[in-house]
Amino acid sequence: MAKLNEKNEAQRVATDGQDLLVVQNLVKYFPVQGGLIASILHKGKIPAVKAVDGVTFTIKRGEVFGLAGESGSGKSTIGRLVLRLYEPTRGKVIFDGIDLLKLKPEDMRHIRSRMQLVFQDPLAALNPRMTIGQAIDNPAAIHLSHLNADERRQAVLDILHQVGMNPPEAYYNLYPHQISGGQRQRIVLARALVTHPELVVADEPIAMADVSVRSILLDLMLKMKQEFNLTYLFITHDLATAKYICDRIGVLYLGKMCEMGEVGEVYEYPLHPYTQALLAAVPVPDPKRRRTTKMPEGEIPNPINPPTGCHFHPRCPLAQAICSQKEPEIRELRPGHTVACHFAENFLPKE
């Protein structure tokens, strides 16, 4: 472990001491496999799904940073790139000052105990042939090798108690199909936390849960954040959920960052038409309030051949000629509030 730490120190890069995660110009293209006819049509060039296309953001220690957007925007792909479950096409992922893309597989395996993933579908994420105790003990056996079997069992029981599965002994030998969906989500969270990580990537962690238990699970995640001093990358398509749990938020569209800033700031002053549309789609518990903002027409374009210029221009009600010709630069128009739109100034609050 000392040798590993020496390697990590040697590979450290200069970052803000408050930044736990720095993502710079992250790109991920997935090649599309085709036959002879497809090769001829594309003149020998292999087409690719442009899942993530130049995304940059930072997450400070103890922060909950949200990634929001429609399905197909690249949110989950970014989560897996951050954990290096996918290898990026280009870009940098810097965790605690360490450039993860320069680590060898063995070094990366050691650092994974500090970075964990909470999956969207807990039933699919849990092995049906393993008991709950075995499922949580598995990462502990890999990353907490200094503990013996009895100590690991106690660690598993402790984490079950902390996520509210009480009495923990009653759940240790049960199988995933023997508990409810909300309880399975707690188990997936417990499995992620048993190694005491610093960063947790939560990929739509409440999407599969009943509405009645979603707020309970969010409160549990916030409680665990305090107890374990966690930092979250919270991936969601639900802006109402993001407002409840996130400190800052980044809005993605077709693999690109549209807007980013403090949650209260972005919700109060959305500067990108796509962000405005997403916020307008959030249900309001008032039957007398009718939606007045026009929803974008059509569906998210094909990521193999995205639109030129601003990716959102085919669906944007405010699009002009420049939008299809020139890609907008990300600009900071308010303190800490950045946006990629040619006409974002039109939405700035009047002084």
For residue 224, the one-letter residue type is M
Q: At 172, give phi and psi (nearest 5°).
A: -55, -40
From 217, 205, 215, select the one nearest 121 (Cα to Cα).
205
The answer to whether 25 touches 90, Cβ cutoff 8 Å, is: yes
In this prediction, residue 194 carries a pLDDT of 95
Q: Which residue has the tokens 């610093």?
A: 198
254 and 306 Cβ atoms separated by less than 8 Å = yes
62: three-class secondary structure by DSSP:
coil
Long-range contacts from 83-87, C-beta under 8 angstroms, 24+ separation:
83/112, 83/115, 83/117, 83/201, 84/108, 85/117, 86/28
DSSP, res 187: H
pLDDT of residue 14: 47
- Domain 2-246 sits in CATH at 3.40.50.300
Q: Which residues pair with 23 in a beta bridge?
A: 57, 93
The pair phi, psi for residue 307, each rounded to 5°, is -60, 150
Q: Which tokens go with 64? A: 């909950």
Q: What parts of the chain have a pLDDT lower than 70?
A: 1-17, 34-44, 290-295, 351
DSSP letters for 275-328: HHHHHHTS--S-TTPPP-SPPPPS-PPPTTSPPSSSTTTTT-TT--HHHHHSPP
- Residue 43: the pLDDT is 57
Return the pLDDT at 292.
64
Residue 287's pLDDT is 73
Output the pLDDT for position 288: 73
Sorted by sequence, the CB contacts under 8 Å of residue 213 that are 6+ apart come out as 181, 182
Please write the tens of the pLDDT for every residue from 23-51.
999 999 998 876 555 555 555 577 889 99
> Residue for token digits 């893309």?
101
Q: Give the pLDDT confidence score for residue 47 in this predicted structure.
A: 84
Amino acid letter, 234 = F
Q: What is the pLDDT of residue 10?
A: 44
- 211 half-sphere exposure, CB direction, 13 A CA radius: 2
Pairing, β 248-253 against β 64-68: parallel
Contacts of 3 (CB under 8 A, 6+ apart): none
C-alpha 242/C-alpha 234 separation (Å) is 8
pLDDT digits over 213-265, tens only?
A: 888 999 999 999 999 999 999 999 888 899 999 999 999 999 999 999 999 99
Strand partners for 256: 253
CB atoms within 10 A of CB 255: 26
Going from N- to C-terminal start, the domains of the chain cover: 2-246
CA 41 – CA 315 distance, rounded (Å): 28
Query: Going by DSSP bridges, is the β-strand pair 64-68/48-60 parallel, antiparallel, or unpaired?
Result: unpaired
State which H helix or E strand residue 166 sits in. none
